[in-house]
Every structure is written in C-alpha cells, then in structure tokens.
Amino acid sequence: MAPVAARLDEDGSLDAWIFADRSARLPSLTIPELPRWVPENVPTRLPVRDASPQGRGRKIRRREGLGYGNNEPVVIRDVIDFCRARPTGRPMLVLFFSDGGVYENKEISDLLREASALPIFWQFVGLGESNYGILEDLDTLPGRVVDNAGFFAVDDIDSVSDEELYDRLLGEFPQWLRAARAAGVLT
C-alpha cells in the first residue's frame, strides 16, 4: 500500500495503525523505509487459538501489547479522532484490511455514520475467506451524509495483479470525492 500513499499523499507517506483488542498508531511510512519499517513496527507472535465465542477456535496472532482480539471499532475510533485532531480539509483515504471475524456490526455502523461527515473514505479489504459482518453491507448502510465506505474481498491476494488491486482499492474513491464535495464534507 506504500505505492498508493506515495502517489496520493503530498509527502508520499502512509499513516498506519495496527489493532487487536486495542489499537496503536505506528510511525508514518515511506517507500524507502519499507524494508526496515515492517520488522521494526509490526511485531507478532506465533499463532494461538482464539477461545472466545466470536473466535470459535480460529488461529490468531498476538500483537505485542495489543492483545489477541479483532476489535475494529477501537481502531476506527482512533482514525476518526486522528482526523478530527488534525483538520486539514484534505480528503483522507483509509485502506482497512480485515482477516474477518467481524462481529461488532452496530458499533462499526455507528462509527461509519459519524465519520460520514468527515473527509474520510474507508476502503475495507477482506483477506482470507472469513466472516466480514457489516463490511459486506456497506453500500446499503443508511443514515450517512455520503456513502463513505467500500468493501471487497480477496481470497488470495497473491493471485491478483497490482493493476487490478489498485483499481479495486481506488475504484469508489473518485465517486466519494464528488459526493463529499456536493454534500459540503469537502471544500
């Protein structure tokens, strides 16, 4: 995703977060930093089994200091708060990768409704043929100022060409830009 940021961001950097039960904002990333950035900033441990009712025994990775879970609302809230704390008036594209196990449907829906008045477009990407919950129904989510989110699943990301991936990542973004400007979300 660093090449997408390099083309879209004025300084070519990518703001990044990781999450499990909790979330953490990572240092910004640029393409030249990529080889050392990932091992320095995305610590993981060997997979363990999730015994929670939502996890149903699937393998998960513990992210150092963040727990074991899959708490999308906590990181969505962090991104919203980040955007509000740094109002630039420029659009923000969030590429949000999920390995499934999405079950906080109401909270995610409420947060996306709240965020629809902000200059944020959320492109959710499902990886791994899993339960994506509300993410699969974003195009029909009511109560938003503008449609501020898209979703697609990629069962095997290695089988998708870069061109197709970029087309899918950015496909709805121009439509959102027009709608956000028309609704006064962007100036």
Tens digits of residue pLDDT in 32-67? 888 888 888 776 554 444 444 454 444 444 445 676
Sign of CA dihedral 42, 136, 93, 171: positive
pLDDT value of residue 46: 41
Q: In the numeric block, which tokens belong to residue 72? A: 């999308």
59-60/48-49 β-pairing: antiparallel
Rounded to an integer, the average pLDDT of 55-83 is 73
Highest mean pLDDT among 85-89, 92-96, 112-116, 137-141: 112-116
Instruction: Give the model's pLDDT for residue 23.
Output: 84
pLDDT at 78 over 90: yes
- Residue-averaged pLDDT of the chain: 84
Predicted TM-score of the model (pTM): 0.83
Which structural domains are found in the chain, ordered by start?
Answer: 2-182 (3.40.50)
Place of tokens 């083309």: 7
Residue 62 has what pLDDT?
45
Closest CA to 31 of 9, 2, 10, 4: 2
What is the pairing mode between strands 120-127 and 149-154? parallel
Q: Which of 113, 120, 122 minimizes the C-alpha distance to 149?
A: 122
Least confident of 61-70, 78-87, 117-126, 140-149: 61-70
Contacts of 66 (CB under 8 A, 6+ apart): 18, 19, 20, 21, 22, 23, 24
Q: Name the pLDDT band for 118 (thresholds 50, 70, 90).
A: very high
Q: Could you tell me if 120 and 82 are in contact, meaning their C-beta atoms sit under 8 angstroms apart?
A: no
- The pLDDT value recorded for residue 43 is 60
**C-beta of residue 162 within 8 angstroms of C-beta of residue 113:** no
Residue 130 clears pLDDT 50, i.e. is over it = yes
pLDDT, position 101:
85
